[in-house]
Amino acid sequence: MPPDTLTATDLKAEVGFASLRRFLPYLWPKGEPGLKARIVVSLLFVLASKLVQVYGAPFALQGAIDGMAHGVHDHSTRTLILALVIGYAAARFGGTLFDNLRNAVFERVGQDATRRLAATVFRHLHQLSLRFHLARRTGAVTKVIERGTKSIDTMLYFLLFNIAPTVLELALVVQIFGSRFGGWLVVGTLVMVVAYIAFTRIVTDWRNALRASMNDFDTRAVAHAVDSLLNFETVKYFNAEEREAQRYDRAITAYTSAAVKNETSLAWLNIGQALITNVMMAGGMGLVVWGWSQGRFTPGNVVLVSTLLSQLFRPLDLLGMVYRTIRQGLIDMAAMFELIDTPAEIVDILDAPPLVVARGHVRFEDVRFHYDADRAILKGIDLDVPAGSTLAIVGPSGAGKSTIARLLFRFYDLSGGRITIDGQDIARVQQATLRAAIGIVPQDTVLFNDTIGYNIAYGREGSDAEAVRAAARGAAIDGFIESLPKGYKSEVGERGLKLSGGEKQRVAIARTLLKDPPILILDEATSALDSRTEAEILDTLHAVTQRRTTITIAHRLSTVVDADQIVVLDEGRVAERGSHAELMALDGLYAEMWARQAAEREQGEALAAE
């Protein structure tokens, strides 16, 4: 095999070690002396616990048994035996005490590591492109983050407080066995440990494949559930409750089958581990009994060996679970680190200057764009929006109207051409300052599941209550809010479902007013509203757009007749441009669309009158 070729096992090991290397900084956080001190103190408690458990309790119990075996019942012997029994109990309590003090001291380290990792992932997810989020299921992503962030606390705990203490205890037990009982017991103990670890690793690797499959089915089930619940209204519209239930049941059934296989494999693992440890227990105690029969060992020695092996078996019994947990933790962390490693598609150039908006003059110069290389969306668009003017973009569905708004926000980079604001190429300025200069009232307003006040205040960080109320007045929604029992503290529900379409639109307008951007985008802001609500919203929008550079993307032509310039897009190109009167005189695509919509309005009014 060529040296640069990796087997599947090698590849898994390489991925595991790579995740472990990236995990180590969280074990010893840079610039956090307080957390490092906690780790050191925790390790000292680990050492104290093992010394008490290995040298305290077993030897005290051995002394008590040997004292009782001598058959002497005088006062001093009884006192000594009683003291040894008390010492045995105190040593057992000391082990528990040190273990719990260790956990209490270390808890902040684990929680802080989890916090820092979760914050890193969350921040990176918001830096990723819109393309990434449109292609990934929200439920699946959140599940990956949940598993990955939880794994780091578990990894820290097991590496420090199970694997390392187990190795230390094994070394102490081997030293005691070698000095008191000879090499055979040492060899037997080491062979048992090696066999136990080898068996655990082989079976656990097999179980990991089952666990990975189970996690995959679990992720799919959660993703189905989240996707279905997010589209609750759509499910209701199409009477698809049973269809969604069956779809979810299929996903859960697949997960259940995988979970059964996983638990069955765990039973075989536990049986094999118990067989190895109990064979060793029988062999070790049998060896000491044989030595006792020859007068070389005492009855207390049997108890000593039994106690030491029992104490060693406890962490070894956990070692199987620890190994599985660490392997699974590495898998979960690798998936999470894969998210972290996903490169941001839209990044600032080196030393990008901030965008400086003096007037708000927007230009699209030969803009070309495609989502997929074989499907062009915009094919050389030229637009000029002078400062303070209003540009309306109309056209049939799929012409590329909403894409223009996304490109102005720089959610995607262009395939060709450039977009400028006051002569500054938006691809060469800081994204944060670009988006701070643009406000949008979208077609589908999605609100946070919080209060109305919070959703309006989201427009500008640090806004006070008076600024929020002023924005609500500007959007003509203050009266409605004040009529609610809880006013601005009223909850809007998931995605704002407790509000009507017009109310959500006004909240979006208020949020944008609070942001107070020099450039405004209205992306079919009234397309989902009835005629009366649309007229009210249009009056509000007309007031909002005063003295701002405004780009209106519209389907209903009646909403843009007052625009300074109207551009008609067709198949990714500018088909016509001009004012409403000029386009009607041209008698082209715009005039045809106007006539069709006028006929639809007349038909609708006639049906309503019947």
**pLDDT at residue 610, as a whole number:** 58
Kindly state whether residue 48 falls inside one of the protein's structural domains.
yes
**What is residue 227's predicted lDDT score, i.e. its pLDDT?**
82
**What is the length of the chain?**
610
Residue 535, pLDDT above cutoff 50: yes
User: Does the pLDDT value for residue 497 go beyond 90?
Assistant: no
Mean of the pLDDT values across residues 552-572?
Answer: 87
Q: Which 8-state DSSP code applies to residue 53?
A: I
Specify the CATH number for the domain of residue 505. 3.40.50.300
Specify the DSSP class assigned to residue 557: G
Q: For residue 11, what pLDDT band results from cuts at 50, 70 and 90?
A: very low
Query: Looking at residues 241-255, what average pLDDT do you find?
Result: 85
Residue 7 belongs to a domain: no
Nearest to 476 by CA among 536, 432, 526: 536
Binned at pLDDT 50, 70 and 90, residue 122 comes out as: confident
For residue 65, give both structure tokens. Answer: 């048994």
Q: What is the pLDDT of residue 417?
A: 92
Cite the beta strand spans of 448-547 per DSSP E. 519-523
Q: Residue written as tokens 């803009």?
A: 367
- Judged by average pLDDT, the poorest of 289-303, 386-400, 517-531 is 517-531
Residue 302 structure tokens: 């049997």
- On the question of pLDDT at 367 being above 90, the answer is yes
Which range of 196-205, 308-317, 565-574 scores highest in mean pLDDT? It is 565-574
Out of 490, 516, 542, pick the residue that ends a domain.
516
- 519 three-state secondary structure: strand
Predicted TM-score (pTM) above 0.85: no
Look at residue 2 and tell me if it is in a domain.
no
The C-alpha atoms of residue 584 and residue 601 are separated, in whole angstroms, by 18
Mean pLDDT of 54-67: 82
Residue in this structure with the two tokens 């019947």, named with its chain if needed: 610
For the chain, give the mean pLDDT. Answer: 81
Q: Does the structure show a pLDDT above 60 at 9?
A: no
Q: Is residue 71 part of a domain?
A: yes
Give the chain's domain count: 3
Among 63-67, 246-250, 513-517, 606-610, the minimum mean pLDDT is found in 606-610
> Does one domain contain both 244 and 364?
no
Contact 551, 408 (CB under 8 A): yes
CB atoms within 10 A of CB 422: 17
Rounded to the nearest angstrom, the gap between the alpha carbon of residue 491 and the centroid of all alpha carbons in its chain is: 25
**Top-confidence residue, 558 or 384:** 384
Say whether both 392 and 493 belong to one domain.
no
For residue 400, name the pLDDT band (cuts at 50, 70, 90).
confident
pLDDT of residue 300: 82
Question: Are 455 and 551 in a shared domain?
Answer: no
Q: For residue 396, what are the CA distances in angstroms to 372, 524, 572?
A: 21, 13, 10
**Does pLDDT of 125 surpass 80?**
no
Please report the pLDDT score of residue 114 as a whole number: 77
- Of 484, 516, 548, the position where a domain reaches its end is 516
The first and second tokens of residue 15, run together, are 């991925």
Give the HSE-up count for residue 219: Cα atoms under 13 Å, Cβ half-sphere.
19
Whether residue 478 is found in the same domain as residue 504: yes
The residue out of 290, 306, 341 marking a domain boundary is 341
Which residue in 138, 260, 258 sits closest to 209, CA to CA? 258
Output the CA angle 431-451-144, nearest 5 degrees: 60
> What pLDDT, on the 0 to 100 scale, is given for residue 421?
93
Q: Which residue from 324, 284, 61 is spatially nearest to 193, judged by alpha carbons? A: 284
CB atoms within 10 A of CB 30: 8
Output the pLDDT for position 186: 87
Chain center to CA of 467: 33
Looking at the DSSP bridge assignments, the partners of residue 577 are 567
Look at residue 530 in the predicted model and tell me its pLDDT: 61
Q: Give the pLDDT confidence score for residue 393 in this predicted structure.
A: 92
Give the residue-averaged pLDDT of 284-299: 81
Residue 187 scores a pLDDT above 80: yes
> Quick one: 379 and 507 in the same domain?
no
Say what the pLDDT of residue 361 is: 93
Query: Taking 70 as the threshold, does the pLDDT of residue 558 lie above it?
Result: yes
- Answer whether residue 227 is part of any domain: yes
Arithmetic mean of pLDDT, 81-95:
87
DSSP of 403-433, one letter per residue?
A: HHHHHHTTSS--SEEEEEETTEEGGGS-HHH
On whether both 230 and 362 belong to a single domain, the answer is: no
1 part of a folded domain: no
Residue range 212-226, pLDDT digits in tens: 788 888 888 888 888
DSSP 8-state code for residue 491: B
Instruction: Give the burial class of 302: count Cβ atoms within 10 A of its Cβ; 0-12 exposed, 13-18 middle, 19 or more buried.
Output: buried
Joined together, the tokens standing for residue 242 give: 């049973």
Range of the domain at 285: 12-341
pLDDT over 50 (residue 8): no
Regarding predicted confidence, which is higher, 416 or 239?
A: 416
Residues 427 and 283 in one domain: no
- For the segment 272-291, the average pLDDT, to the nearest whole number, is 84
Query: Is residue 262 situated within a structural domain?
Result: yes
Mean pLDDT within 141-149: 75
Does residue 6 surpass a pLDDT of 70? no
Q: Are residue 510 and residue 523 in the same domain, yes or no?
A: no
Range in 48-52, 56-60, 451-455, 477-481 the model is least confident about: 56-60
Same domain, 593 and 556: yes
pLDDT at res. 382: 93
Q: Which of 159, 47, 58, 40 has its CA nearest to residue 106?
A: 40
What gap in Å lies between CA 544 and CA 549, rounded to an integer? 11
336 with 361, same domain? no
Looking at the structure, do residues 228 and 193 belong to the same domain, yes or no?
yes
Distance (Å, whole) CA 63 – CA 85:
9
Provide the CATH number for the domain around residue 151.
1.20.1560.10
Do 186 and 254 belong together in one domain? Answer: yes
- Asked if residue 265 belongs to a domain, the reply is yes
